[in-house]
Chains A and B, each alone.
Chain A
Amino acid sequence: MAKARALDKRRKSVRNIRKITRTMELIATARFKKAMDRATAATAYTARITQLVKDLATTGLEVSHPLLEGREQTKRSVLLVLTANRGLCGGYNSAALRLAIEKRQELLELSESLQLYVSGKRGINGFRFRKIEIAESFTHFDDQPRFDEVELLANRYMNAYVTGQIDRLDVVHTQFISTARQQAVAETLLPLDSLGGDDDGDSDNTARESMYEFLPSAESILQEVVPTSFKVKLFKCFLDAAVSEQISRMVAMKSATENADKMIKDLSMQYNRARQGQITGELLELMGGVEALDG
C-alpha cells in the first residue's frame, strides 16, 4: 500500500498548488484589465498632447527648451529601474534587471558618477544581492501607479536637470508591445529627444496656415508642453511596466496551472496502476492460500 499512498499524497499536494496558481492567474487577469484600462485612458491624453504639438509645429516655431538640450559632457547620470514588488511573474523581473546592469556598466564608462534609483522590491533585492549601491528606492508604485506620485518624481528629475545637478536620465522598464510580447527596454528621457512621442512625419501639415489663436503666445505654450510631455513619458513608463507585470504573471501562472494539470494526470495514472498491482498481488496471495488449504 505504501507506494500507492505516497502517490496519492503527492497528487493531493499538486492539486493544492494548482488551486493557488489558478487563483493567482485569475487575480492577475483582473488586475491586468484594470491596468490596461488606465493605460488606454492615458493614451487619450498623450494623443491630445501629440495633436497639440503638431498644431504648434504649423506655426514654424523654433523649438528650444532646457530639457531638450543635451550636455557636451555627461558627468552625472541617473538610472531609474522599474521592477515589480512581487515575484512569480516569469522572466519579467530578471529581464529588466539584466538590462539594467548592462545599462549601468555602459553609463559608468560614459560618465563620472551614476546614481541608481530602483522601484520595486525585486529590483532592490537584486541589486543588493550584487552589492550595488542604490541611491534611492521606491516600493509604493504598485499595479496602479498614480500620476501625482510619478509627477513628484518627474519634477525632481526635471529640476535637477535644469539646475545642472544631473546631465542625463535613463529609464529601464518593460515595454508593453502587445499582450503576447513585452520587452525590457532602456530609454533616455533626459535630454528629451522628441515631443509627444510618435512623429509620423506629416510634412503636409507644415505648409498649412495654423487656424489657432495662441494665448498668450506659441512660445509660452511650448515652454509648458516640454515639461508636460516629459512627465507623460515617465508616467507611460510606469504604466507600461505595471501592465507588463500583470500580463507576465498571468502567463506564468497559466502555464503553471497547465503544468499542474498534466502532473495530476500522470500521477493519477501511476496511482491507479500501483493500486491495481496491489489488488492483483493480494488476490494471488489469497488464491495461493486457498490452494494450499485444499491440497
Chain B
Amino acid sequence: MANLHCIVVTPEETAIEEEIDFVTLPLDDGEIGIAPQHSPLIGRLGFGEMRLGTGDSAQRYYVDGGFVQVSDDVVSILTNRFLAAADLDAKLIAEQLETARSEPANTVEMMEIRDRAVSQARAQLRMAQRT
C-alpha cells in the first residue's frame, strides 16, 4: 500500500516531513481522517489535535488553525503554530482562556474575535488536560 507523505510547514520552519500511514486532522467543522489515495482536497483547519499514525503507534500534536492540502498522496499542512501535545501548558492556557473571556464584545466583529480566541484556548486546554 502506498504511504502518505506528510509535510507540516509553519512560517518559521518545516516542522515535519515524513512518511506516514494515516493522519487525523481537526477541520473547521469536525475531524477528518486521511488515508493513502485520498482524493485531492483543500481544507480549513480548526484548533485541535492532529494524530500521525505510523504502524501501530500514533503521535499527537496540536495545530493552531491553518490549511491542509492533499494531492497525490502528499499531505501539506500549513499552520501558524505546531506543538507536540506534551508541550502544552495547561496552566498558561487556562489564564489565556480567562483573558479571552473577559474581553469586551460590544459589536458583532468584536464578538467574532472573542469567540475565536475562546475556542482556540478551549481546544488547547482540552488537549492539555488529556495528556
Q: Which residues of A contact B (CB under 8 A)?
A: 38, 41-42, 44-45, 48-49, 51-52, 55-56, 66, 146-148, 151, 159, 162-164, 211-216, 220-221, 223-225, 228, 231-232, 235
- Evaluate whether A224 and B67 lie within 8 angstroms (CB atoms) in the complex, with A52-B78, A215-B41 already known: yes
Indicate if the CB atoms of B78 and A49 lie closer than 8 Å: yes
Whether B40 lies near A228 (C-beta < 8 A) is no
Known: A51-B69, A147-B10, A163-B107. 8 other contacts (CB 8 A): A44-B9, A45-B11, A147-B12, A214-B43, A215-B29, A215-B41, A228-B80, A231-B80
Residue in A45, A55, A164, A220 whose beta carbon sits within 8 Å of that of B10 in the complex: A45
Q: Contacts of A220 on B, CB cut-off 8 Å?
A: 28, 44
B11 neighbours in A (Cβ, 8 Å): 42, 45, 147, 231-232, 235
Contact A216 B78 (CB under 8 A): no
Residues from chain A with Cβ under 8 Å of B110 in the complex: 159, 163
Is residue B87 within 8 Å, beta carbon to beta carbon, of the partner chain? no
- Any chain A CB within 8 A of the CB of B32? yes
Q: Is the beta-carbon distance between A215 and B27 smaller than 8 angstroms?
A: yes
Q: Are A48 and B9 in contact (CB under 8 A)?
A: yes
- Where chain A touches its partner, the secondary structure class is helix
**Is B56 part of the binding interface, using a Cβ–Cβ cutoff of 8 Å?**
no
Known: A148-B81, A211-B40. Contact between A41 and B66, CB under 8 A? no
Docked complex Cα distance between A93 and B23 (Å): 47
B113 pairs with A45, CB closer than 8 A: no
Known: A147-B10, A231-B80. A212 touches B42 (CB 8 A): yes
Give the tally of cross-chain contacts (CB within 8 A). Answer: 93
Distance from B53 Cβ to chain A, minimum over Cβ atoms (Å): 20
CB pair A212 B41 closer than 8 Å: yes
Chain B residues numbered 1-31 whose CB sits less than 8 Å from any CB in chain A: 9-14, 27-29
Cross-chain pairs A/B with CB under 8 angstroms, 16 sampled? A42-B11, A45-B10, A45-B11, A51-B69, A52-B78, A147-B10, A159-B113, A212-B40, A215-B42, A216-B29, A221-B44, A224-B65, A228-B65, A228-B80, A232-B11, A235-B11
Query: By the criterion CB–CB under 8 Å, are B69 and A48 in contact?
Result: yes
Which residue of chain B has its CB nearest to the CB of A151? B80
| Distance of A99 Cα from B27 Cα, bound (Å) | 44
Given contacts A221-B67, A224-B67, contact A213 B9 (CB under 8 A): no
Cβ–Cβ contact A228 & B66, under 8 A: yes
Please report the C-alpha to C-alpha distance between residue A99 and residue B88 in the assembled complex, in whole angstroms.
Answer: 42
Residue of B65, B80, B110 most packed against chain A (CB within 10 A): B80
Residue in A48, A151, A223, A231 whose Cβ sees the most chain B Cβ within 10 Å: A48
